[in-house]
Amino acid sequence: MIQTVNAKINIGLNVVGRRADGYHELSTVFYPIGLFSGTPYSPWPFSDIIEITPIPEEKDHRFLFTGNPIDCPLHKNLVWKAVDAFEKRYYEKMGCEMPAMNIHLEKHIPDGAGLGGGSADASFTLLMLDRLTGGHLGQEELFHLSATLGADCPFFIYNRPCLAEGIGDRITPLSIDLTGYWLVILKPPFAISTKEAFSGIVCRSDNSEKVFSESVLEWRDVLVNDFETHLFEKYPVLLHLKKDLYDGGADYAQMSGSGSAVYGIFSSIDQAGKVWEKWRATEGYYSAIMRL
């Protein structure tokens, strides 16, 4: 089984409180991106690829990672964690071991960018394993299992526009539709870890629900990413990228998640293309353009 794996952007991101266990309460809108990667609508590749094949004659799973380098031990990789979590839950429910699997991840979505690539890989792995083993867990159980892997993971089980609250484990599907818009993603040559992003965060009141009642052109004055305040001070280039997207004609621009990617939503492909062309040749920078 082969599956392309899309990413996400955050539309507004408010940190609304801190729980007793140390985790932060969030309110944000997740929107899937890269769904048309490799098609005439978005011919430039922007997705990971996972291939999983049962190898019942083997005892142990095999893992192969290609594409972008993955700089962490195998047992800390989210795909490995997803396989481990699924295997344990499968045994608890079915009373037997699942077949050994050959798992190949080809990585293209940039890491440390706030685009949820690692979380998407984990959730898509869970979904694929369930299909390959008979569908005994189902969407709801996979949703809860994914929440044990990471805050963004539950969204990718649904993989449709959603309001995410709590630590990302309270998901409400939305009817928001950006079909016809164009997205430009710009990422400087550095990543921002979740730990670094949260180290300087200041909790504030929530306003993400306003996304439903405002047009894209009005989001600029309504929807904010709370991480931008301190991360823009530490990394001024992020503010520069956001300003350049607006100067280039974006209807809305924001840093996605905890960074370091900044995106712009454009109604004009010509304007989007000009901004993308400007940055695609800049050494060390990652840029992408795609239809939403």
Q: Per residue in 161-176, pLDDT tens?
A: 999 998 878 999 998 9
- Name the pairing type of β-strands 101-107 and 62-67: parallel
Cα–Cα distance measured from residue 107 to residue 215, given in angstroms and rounded to the nearest whole number: 34
- No. of helices (H) and no. of strands (E), the chain: 8, 12
Q: Going by C-beta distance under 8 Å and a sequence separation of 6 or more, which residues neighbour residue 233?
A: none
pLDDT band at residue 2 under the 50/70/90 scheme = very high
Q: Going by C-beta distance under 8 Å and a sequence separation of 6 or more, which residues neighbour residue 73?
A: none
Domain ranges of the chain: 2-173, 182-291
Cα–Cα distance measured from residue 170 to residue 147, given in angstroms and rounded to the nearest whole number: 10
For residue 210, what pLDDT is reported? Answer: 53
CATH fourth-level superfamily of 182-291: GHMP kinase, C-terminal domain (3.30.70.890)
Average pLDDT over residues 15-22: 74
Cα–Cα distance measured from residue 181 to residue 166, given in angstroms and rounded to the nearest whole number: 29
Q: Per residue in 98-157, pLDDT tens?
A: 999 999 999 999 988 999 999 999 999 999 999 999 999 999 999 999 999 998 999 999
Pick the CATH number of 2-173 from 3.30.230.10, 3.40.50.300, 1.10.260.40, 3.40.50.1820: 3.30.230.10
Cα–Cα nearest to 124, from 35, 8, 38, 4:
4
For residue 145, what pLDDT is reported? Answer: 97
| Residue 171 one-letter amino acid | I
Q: From residue 238, how far is each of 34, 251, 272, 273 by CA, in Å?
A: 22, 18, 18, 20
The residues assigned a catalytic role are 8, 152
